[in-house]
Structure 1
Amino acid sequence: MKSRYDFLGARLKLFIWQWRGVWITTPCITAFVILLRLTGILQLWEWSTYDFYIRNRPLPTQDRRIAIIGIDEADIHRIGQPILPDATYAKLLEKLKAMEPRAIGLDIYRDLPVPPGHQELVRVFQNTPNLVGIQKVVEDDKQEGVAPPPALKEKGQVGANDMIVDADGRVRRGLFFLDNQDGERIHSFAIHLALHYLKKENIKAEKVEGTNNWRIGNQIFIPFEENDGGYVKTDAGGYQLLINYRGPNGYFEIVSLTDILEDQVPPDWGRDRIILIGKVGESFNDLFYTPYSSSWLNLPQPMTGVEVQANFISQIISATLNERSLIGTWSEPQEWLWIFIWSGVGATVTWNWRNQTKQFLSLALFKYLGLEIFILFGSTYIGLIYGWWIPVIPPLLALVGACFVITGYVAGTASGIRKTFGRYLSQEIVSNLLESKEGLKIGGKRQTITVLASDLRGFTALSEQLSSEDVVEIINIYLQDILKIITYYGGNIDKLLGDGIMVLFGAPIVREDDAERAVACALAMQLEMESINKKIKVLGLPALEMGIGINTGDAVVGNIGSEEHTEYTAIGWEVNLAFRIETYAIGNQILISNSTKEAIGISKLRIDSTKEIKPKGMSNPINIYEVGGIGGKYNLFLPREEEILLLLEKPIPIFYLIVEGKQISNTVFKGNLIKLSQRGAEIEMNKLASTDSIPLPYSNLQLNLLKPDNQSFMSEHIYGKILKVEEASKTFYIRFTFKPQSVIQQLDSLYQSSLKK
């Protein structure tokens, strides 16, 4: 039983680890989005989305129970004065009363008399029990309150027509009632009229026992709270409701004042209806922006105040009679859970996708993300159709945020993998292996590449005199700077051979300027040696010199090996030739093949010398070229060195041996060091030596200095390369490739003495 529990525990741990990105990302993104939402920064976006849904949902049938008598500029022009006299309203109300409407709403401020006909209007007010007037209750810095008509106030037939305008200038909420500055509760214009209409249905309003909610019939109207829907910390004073607009501008039937006064409508036009009287002309400035006012393509069109009231009245009546739902909202914990779900969806899908394809950021992943966003918008849109304002922007931000966080994590992981591999392979090869369909296949293809081979001169001899720790430290100092240069010039480091480096240009991707970049890279490497030697000098160690050989040609490039072990490399004679050329290079020298010279063009290169060599394995000699610089966009040049070879006052006897590869011959030759420079020396062979013993040019040798008076004493080993041979005089010139510290001091002293003479 214990082993079973251990097994299940191990499986659970594995499952948690495998989905770690989801477990961490989902709650973190959820918490971040919730905190961001509480700042209110998402509020405007959420309102805009809500408005978009309102504008684009199916419209219900026109509510024939409500009609509007709109007073416009034509009516004012006909009557002849900007403010209609009381007599006109009295006449209008008498005509409406004859039509037997259920309620009449006068959405016109009438706190002061406007003669003529004031007494006549007061009498109509007193004799019309289903008439409701208005007053403005809320006073602020921008507007003052407006008193109600006194005659209607006495009879309790006045409602507040105050509008609640959101921060973006839209009206999305309406009032059941509110309190004035004296603490008196004032019911709204809309609720008065709705209750007048419903009175005939034997429906009335009452407070729900034990709560602060109000019920009309069987419908409970739950008041708006400060964080409902897309709102954050909004003033929820009074008894507010979200307005479930029935339609845009002009959705309710509107007839002109003139039509009523001149009997242009049927006698029963207003029977059993709510008749609203209000100003609809633009010059009256009774206009408000609503969710229907916004548009991505057109300028926002405001809605008249009387139409806003009509929409709110229609909502109350329709909800009470179960024809249309109110706009409901979720509690905050439900909204947080909704955000959490979408954060989890984004994290889960993206996390799962990381193992589905070699290319993580593929078109298919974005298709899935697009599908998730479509589902989010579709579900919240359908929710609004059925009367629920479900948050859109916070879950959208959570979805996309989780997707990007997981993407960033995966990219960071991939970057870590690339960085790890990049310590062994170049970034270009890593990209080829990880991203190309052909990248991991065993095999190769023939292509033209340029191979750069470099090696430190005399480093093997130097390392024999140092501790392993010092050797590693020198190599690391050298490689740290040199590898940066190789990477900068787009070279792919194929091999690190101790103090030697093999670099490919043109693999895996061939470019037109591969040869040019290789030469520029070599020049930059040689120029960098001065800085490297300054760092090494601090350690009290001798300066390093590097030789470089470059060749361009066809080679087989690819993954060479087997399933057990594979190496991305290049093989072929042209690769070997680059190493052969490198062996001819002395310190601070760059040698290139004829094919490399032709690939670049002679006009771009500074050729300091030409050599004819016969590399091992070749039947015919070839020319190689010493490069001192390259022009064009790289513009890199090595300083020209003038060598001063001085005749020594007394020749120094020496022993020397020929070095072939890593092997030193057993034949010891005698000679004398007769001339000396800071970097080389001229050696005179023993006069009795046969012509067969004269060394070949470009041979390497090991020599030891002897004391003229005690030839049994030998100096430490010195290494050099023969650059020039004079058979007639039996002399040859060598360039030192390694001098021990003790020999350096001795030769420098001799050189300075000869220089003074």
Structure 2
Amino acid sequence: MQRDIWRLLKEKCTILRLGKRLGLVVVLLVIIARLSGWLQFLEWGIFDIFLSWRSYESVEEKILIVGINEADIESVGKYPIPDGEITEIIKKLQAYKPIAIGLDIARNVPVEPGRKELVELARQSKNFIGIEKIFLPDRFSSIPNLPSERIGFSDIIPDKDTKYRRILLGAPNPLDSNDYKFSFSLRLAEAYLSQKDIPLKNGISDSHTMRFAATELPRFLPNFGGYVGTDAGGVQVLLNFRNGTELFRIVSLNDIKTENFQPDWIRDRIVMIGMTAISAGDLFNTSAISGLKLHGQIYGVEFHAHAVSQIINAVLGSRPLIKTWSEEWEYIWILGWGSITIGLSLMIKSPWRNLFAVSLSSSALIAISYYTLLIWGLWIPVAPVLLILGINFLLSACYQYEQSLKAQIVIRQHTIEMAFTEIHNGPLQTLAALLRNVQNHELSKEELLTNLKNLNLEIRDIGEYLTRQTLNLEESLRLGSGLKINLKRPIHELFYEVYSSTIERNLPYFQTLKVKVRSFDPLEEQFLTIERKRELCQFLEEALCNVGKHAEGVTRLSATGTKQQGWYSLKIRDNGLGIRSNYESKGTKDSKNLAKQLGGYFNRERATPKGTVCELTWPFAGTRSWISTMKSRLKAYFQRKLKFLTKNLQRSL
């Protein structure tokens, strides 16, 4: 009936509203968590993983690292390495005409012998670039009084997880706000690119950043990518590390002394001198590179080499720089995936299918994000979306599990009710008639034994039927007579079949019937479910059985189903002894409940001049308004009251 359809629709709408609200709450909470910075570590970790997934790259030919290792320290016999040793190495390197020589060794005090010679050589070498520290607590210059264009700071900033992902390219001098300082890495990259007539200039789309030709370095902002409220002072860029086991060609101090290298490794290249001895402690944490010899760590000179390589190759067009969307587009992306997630959780009811859909969506998200970073260097949010997918899946799975438990409870309750109805309309009716006959001494011993055997078979048949019905969910109904009817048939045909089968049962007062009337109008069934058909047939069967058991002296029985003005009335009337008690049995309660579910009413009363009328009436027109329904109910109510008052008045007269 339409009432069931509306009830189901309301339930669906309630579930949809609840699902949407929960989904939106999850999305909102994840966004709040991201804005609060609680997802930074997760987003950084995923970013590092993506970088480490890239295929291994070849050795960077533009840069040579002279790494002073443990063997070099033992060979020299002194640490720190004396300035004189550094001077000799620089002289040897200069003979091969490198574009630039960068000395990444922090010297806040002279290391004799050779300090004077080192300072003089550094000042005379136009391609020499030294380092300085401009931020506290370490603030010094390794080579004093170098021209500003040949010195760069080596200060870098760690993230909160102690890993290094950013490189500081420029910053105001803390001691003089009018003096702007550039980094060691930027100075080396600038020296290389200037040989190709590509000067360093201010940005165009972002005037606060830097550019070489048309390549503008994407400036790090406080909420850049997965960062939230981070100090973005100066000009910082995110580092696009090279990936592999052998990223730069590294030679030792002894290799340079013994000329154990190819001249082409130096000529027209950038040479960087730094410490590659673990004892020197010049190590930086990173998890963005796979295949490192030192797990999760690289030397400081390598870190600066990555920065130099990134700038040069980005300008020359071979590698992308790391950039992000604007914050608005990032949250549109998150909300878009949140909508997809909510849709999946609402459309897919199976937990396993939901898991498959979430896994597929997560894989698609990771693939899109990874290749976007790999090809274009675009870092898009992944962690918030994965959280939304995961949390919504868990909520959906919990809800579906709860619904499954409820469904099992409903099935069990339905099975119990079905069992009661089958037993009540079958064996119990037979047993009641049998008891009455025994009390009246109307059965012989042989007849009693036969009836008991039949009752035993009837009970067994019900057990087998209920088992099949529960397991196979058959769209059928077993009547108390043992007949099984197909509930897919039209309802008026089912009424005829229920009537014919029930009236033939061996119930005591069916034997006295002389007049039997039956008539059932056809009924449109677009709103009538299989379950409603089952309940209506059971109602008719029980009403007829009650006549056979209790209607003493009955000679006339009529069972009719009539349509009138959008209502259907199923009425069973007899002329037996009539109602003897006002006790409300379970059958009466079930009938009232059925009427309520159908949106109609149930009436059971004495008939005039004698007998009983049992009537179930409900609306069947799908377009019937609630106003007309209320009118019909009120009309029926007042008609019943009028009949009741008329009867009392007649009795009093």
The reply to whether residue 47 of structure 1 matches residue 41 of structure 2 is no
SS at match of 1:558: helix
Distance 1:131 1:111 in 2: 18
Query: What corresponds to 1:208 in structure 2?
Result: 203
Matched, 1:148 2:168: no
The whole-number CA distance in structure 2 between the counterparts of 1:352 and 1:495 is 37
The question of 1:236 aligning with 2:145 is answered no
2:266 to 265, 270, 276: 270
The change in CA–CA distance for 1:112 and 1:409 in structure 2 (over 3 A counts) is: same
Provide closer, same or farther for how the CA distance between residues 495 and 225 of structure 1 changes in structure 2, counting only shifts above 3 A: farther
1:269 shift after superposition: 3.5
Between the aligned partners of 1:151 and 1:290, the Cα distance in structure 2 is 34
Residue 378 of structure 2 aligns with which residue?
A: 388
Mapped pair 1:28 → 2:21 = no
1:374 matched to 2:363: yes
Shift of 1:302: 1.0
Give the corresponding residue for 1:471. Answer: none
Structure 2: 5+ residue runs without aligned partners? 1-9, 429-458, 484-548, 553-653
1:190 equivalent to 2:99? Answer: no
Cα distance in 1 for partners of 2:37, 2:123 equals 48
CA contact (8 A) 2:53 2:290 kept: no
Q: Residues of 1 paired with 2:117 and 2:106: CA distance? A: 17
Q: Is the 8 A contact 1:193 1:274 kept in 2?
A: yes
Is the aligned partner of 1:160 residue 2:153?
yes
Residue 60 of structure 1, CA deviation: 3.4
Residues 230, 155 of structure 1: alpha-carbon distance in 2 compared, 3 angstrom cutoff: closer
User: Superposition pairs for residues 62-101 of structure 1, below 5 Å?
Assistant: 62-101=59-98
Number of the residue aligned with 1:350: 345
State which of 109, 113, 117 in structure 1 corresponds to 2:110: 113
**How far has the Cα of 1:238 moved from its partner?**
1.8
Which whole-Å CA distance do the structure 1 matches of 2:481 and 2:400 have between them? 32
User: Where do residues 277-296 of structure 1 align in structure 2 (5 Å cutoff)?
Assistant: 277-292=273-288
Q: CA deviation at 1:116?
A: 1.3
Q: Residue 225 and residue 566 in structure 1: after superposition, are their counterparts in 2 closer, same or farther (change >3 A)?
A: farther
Identity %: 33
Letter in 2 for 1:199: S
State yes or no: 1:251 paired with 2:247: yes
- Secondary structure at the aligned position of 2:274 is classed as strand
Two-structure CA RMSD over aligned residues (Å): 4.0
Q: Conserved in 2, the CA contact under 8 Å of 1:293 and 1:303? A: no
Q: Which amino acid aligns with 1:319?
A: A
Give the Cα–Cα distance (whole angstroms) in 2 for the partners of residues 124 and 19 of structure 1: 77
What is the aligned partner in structure 2 of residue 322 from structure 1? 317
- Contact between 2:166 and 2:236, CA under 8 Å: does it hold in 1? yes
1:408 Cα deviation from its structure 2 partner = 4.1
Q: Which amino acid in the other structure matches residue 191 of structure 1?
A: L
Q: Secondary structure at the match of 2:24?
A: helix
CA contact (8 A) 1:99 1:269 kept: no
Q: CA deviation at 1:16?
A: 8.3
- CA shift for structure 1 position 496: 10
Aligned equivalents of 1:82, 1:272: Cα separation in 2: 31
Quick one: which of 219, 223, 227 aligns to 1:223? 219
| Residues 26 and 347 in structure 1, CA contact (< 8 A), matched pair in contact too | yes
Give the Cα separation in 2 of the matches to 1:350 and 1:208: 46
2:102–2:129 contact (8 Å) kept in structure 1? yes
Deviations 1:424-455 (A, max 9, x none): 555xx99xxxxxxxxxxxxxxxxxxxxxxxxx
Q: Is the 8 A contact 2:151 2:184 kept in 1?
A: yes
Alignment pair present for 1:341 and 2:336: yes
Match of residue 404 from structure 1: 394
Counterparts of 1:179 and 1:568, CA distance in 2: 94
2:181 is equivalent to residue 174 of structure 1: no
Report the Cα distance in structure 2 between the residues aligned to 1:109 and 1:299, rounded to whole angstroms.
22
CA positional deviation for 1:571: 8.8
Q: CA deviation at 1:349?
A: 2.5
Q: Aligned in 2, Cα 1:91/1:567: closer, same or farther, shift over 3 Å?
A: farther
Q: What do the CA deviations read for 1:162-194 (whole angstroms, capped 9, x no partner)?
A: 122112221111111123432343211000000
Q: 1: distance between equivalents of 2:45 and 2:481?
A: 61
TM-score normalised to structure 1 length: 0.53
- For the 8 Å contact 2:422–2:479, the answer to whether it is kept is no
In 2, distance between residues paired with 1:268 and 1:424?
A: 87
Q: For the Cα contact (< 8 Å) 1:227–1:234, is it kept in 2? A: yes
Looking at structure 2, the residues matched to 118 and 373 of structure 1 have their Cα atoms a distance apart, in angstroms, of 59
Q: Deviations over 1:611-634 (max 9, x none)?
A: xxxxxxxxxxxxxxxxxxxxxxxx
Question: Contact (CA 8 Å) 1:137, 1:180: kept in 2 or not?
Answer: yes
Q: Which amino acid aligns with 2:296?
A: Q
| Structure 1 residue 109, shift from structure 2 partner | 1.2
Summarize the Cα distance change of 1:34–1:257 in structure 2 as closer, same or farther, 3 Å threshold: same
How far is the alpha carbon of 1:339 from its aligned partner? 1.4
SS at match of 2:65: strand
Q: Distance in 1 between matches of 2:382 and 2:460?
A: 61
Residue 467 (structure 2) aligns with: 558
CA distance in 2, matches of 1:567, 1:181: 93
- Letter matched to residue 199 of structure 2: K
CA displacement at 1:58 relative to structure 2? 1.9
Question: What secondary structure, in the 3-state scheme, does the structure 2 residue paired with 1:253 have?
Answer: strand
For 1:375 and 1:90, locate their aligned partners in 2 and report how far apart those are by CA, in whole Å: 55
Shift of residue 23 of structure 1?
4.6
CA-to-aligned-CA distance 1:720-743 (integer Å, 9 cap, x gap): xxxxxxxxxxxxxxxxxxxxxxxx
Separation of aligned partners in 2, 1:17 and 1:114: 79
Residues 148/14 of structure 1: CA separation in 2 closer, same or farther (3 Å cut)? same
Contact 2:210-2:217 within 8 A present in 1 as well: yes
Could you tell me how far 1:348 is from its partner in structure 2? 1.8
Q: Residue 621 of structure 2 aligns with which residue?
A: none
Q: Decide whether the 8 Å contact of 1:190 with 1:313 is kept in 2.
A: yes
> What secondary structure is seen at the aligned counterpart in 1 of 2:131?
strand
Q: C-alpha separation between the residues in 2 aligned to 1:94 and 1:298?
A: 31
* Other-structure match for 1:721: none
- 1:308 counterpart residue number: 303
Report the residue type matching 1:178 in the other structure: A
Larger helix proportion of the pair = 2
Q: What is the alpha-carbon distance in structure 1 between the residues aligned to residue 479 and residue 49 of structure 2? A: 57
Report deviation, 1:98: 1.3
- Whole-Å separation in 2 of the counterparts to 1:280 and 1:235: 30
Q: Aligned partners of 2:200, 2:170: CA distance in 1, in Å?
A: 12
Structure 1 alignment gaps of length 5 or more: 1-12, 355-359, 431-491, 502-551, 573-661, 666-757
Mapping of residues 695-734 of structure 1, within 5 Å: none
After TM superposition, give the deviation of residue 63 of structure 1 in Å.
1.8
Kept in 2: contact 1:174–1:312 (CA 8 A): yes
1:129 is paired with a residue whose SS is coil
For the 8 Å contact 1:494–1:569, the answer to whether it is kept is: no
| d(CA) in 2 for partners of 1:250, 1:244 | 16
Opposite residue 145 of structure 1, the aligned amino acid is R
Q: Name the aligned partner's letter for residue 53 of structure 2.
A: N
The one of 34, 37, 62 aligned to 1:37: 34
| Residue 599 (structure 2) aligns with | none
Instruction: Give the partner amino acid of 2:139.
Output: G
Displacement of 1:136: 2.0
Residues 22 and 344, structure 1, Cα contact 8 Å, conserved in 2:
no
- Kindly provide the amino acid, as one letter, of the partner of residue 129 in structure 1: K
Look up the SS of the partner of 1:109 in the other structure.
coil
Q: Which residue of 1 aligns with 2:354?
A: 365
- Say if 1:424 and 1:221 are closer, same or farther in 2 by CA, change over 3 A: same
